[in-house]
């Protein structure tokens, strides 16, 4: 079997300079982790989870500041109410909704960020309202509707930051190897040149 000295033969179809696309070969895990694609994706995903953490943390702080009860604390079962975790889950989901919108909306950056923030704000607010109402029906807990509305709105505000952050990250820090990123850049570039 003949070996070629042509440099083009050493680059696989993924453009990874001779590193097999399945990560095989004699490279150690440390060597494989040093690849630019691994570093780019690690940075991108870390930024996404940072925005999710900021959104969830901001929600907790804002809910504490307004200090509005959702469930009557004199009711049995109020201490085990699972609704307090809903905004944290919403923040994690929101950051990925933001990424999706950032990659797929054919518009300028500011509009993409705003679309992520407003849509997730509305979705989170409605989701918390409906969840608490249905939960209270199923468990006979008494709802403080004023507190529920204020808490839902405040939760939506915090989570909307995560969505806007996800949209920003998708447009500014996503690895350049993604087809979606290349599509956004080409579409975004075409729109800003008009």
Q: What confidence score (pLDDT) does residue 187 get?
A: 60
Q: What confidence score (pLDDT) does residue 19 get?
A: 47
Distances (CA, A) of 111 to 57, 105, 107, 190: 25, 9, 6, 16
In 3D space, the residue among 41, 9, 12 whose CA is nearest the CA of residue 25 turns out to be: 12
Min mean pLDDT across 16-30, 50-64, 118-132 is at 16-30
Q: What confidence score (pLDDT) does residue 66 get?
A: 80
pLDDT tens, 126-184? 998 898 888 888 877 788 888 888 888 988 998 999 999 999 999 999 887 656 555 55
Q: What confidence score (pLDDT) does residue 4 get?
A: 44
pLDDT tens, 34-87? 888 888 888 999 999 999 999 988 888 887 788 776 665 555 444 455 666 777
How confident is the model over 15-21, as a mean pLDDT? 49
More confident residue, 18 or 84: 84
How confident is the model over 20-46, as a mean pLDDT? 80
Q: Please return the burial class of 41, using the count of CB atoms within 10 Å of its CB with bins 0-12, 13-18 and 19+.
A: middle
> Rounded to whole angstroms, how far apart are CA atoms 121 and 93?
12
Please list the residues that pair with 137 across neighbouring strands.
none
User: Is 70 exceeded by the pLDDT of residue 112?
Assistant: yes
Q: What confidence score (pLDDT) does residue 113 get?
A: 96
> Rounded to whole angstroms, how far apart are CA atoms 133 and 178?
41
Please list the residues that pair with 143 across neighbouring strands.
71
More confident residue, 185 or 141: 141
Distances (CA, A) of 75 to 40, 78, 140: 50, 6, 9
Residues 6+ apart with CB under 8 A from 97: 116, 119, 120, 163, 166
User: Is 80 exceeded by the pLDDT of residue 121?
Assistant: yes
């Amino acid at each position: 079997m003949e070996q070629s000295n042509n440099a083009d033969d050493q680059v696989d179809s993924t453009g990874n300079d001779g590193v097999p696309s399945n990560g095989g070969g004699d490279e150690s895990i440390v060597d494989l982790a040093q690849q630019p694609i691994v570093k780019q994706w690690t940075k991108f995903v870390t930024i996404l989870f940072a925005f999710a953490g900021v959104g969830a943390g901001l929600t907790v702080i804002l809910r504490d500041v307004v200090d509005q009860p959702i469930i009557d604390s004199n009711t049995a079962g109020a201490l085990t109410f699972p609704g307090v975790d809903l905004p944290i889950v919403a923040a994690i989901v929101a950051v990925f909704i933001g990424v999706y919108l950032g990659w797929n909306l054919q518009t300028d950056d500011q509009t993409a960020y705003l679309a992520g923030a407003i849509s997730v704000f509305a979705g989170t607010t409605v989701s918390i309202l409906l969840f608490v109402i249905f939960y209270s029906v199923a468990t006979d807990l008494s709802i403080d509707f004023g507190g529920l509305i204020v808490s839902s709105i405040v939760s939506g505000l915090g989570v909307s930051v995560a969505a806007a952050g996800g949209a920003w990250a998708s447009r500014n820090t996503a690895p350049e190897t993604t087809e979606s990123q290349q599509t956004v850049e080409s579409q975004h570039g075409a729109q800003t040149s008009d």
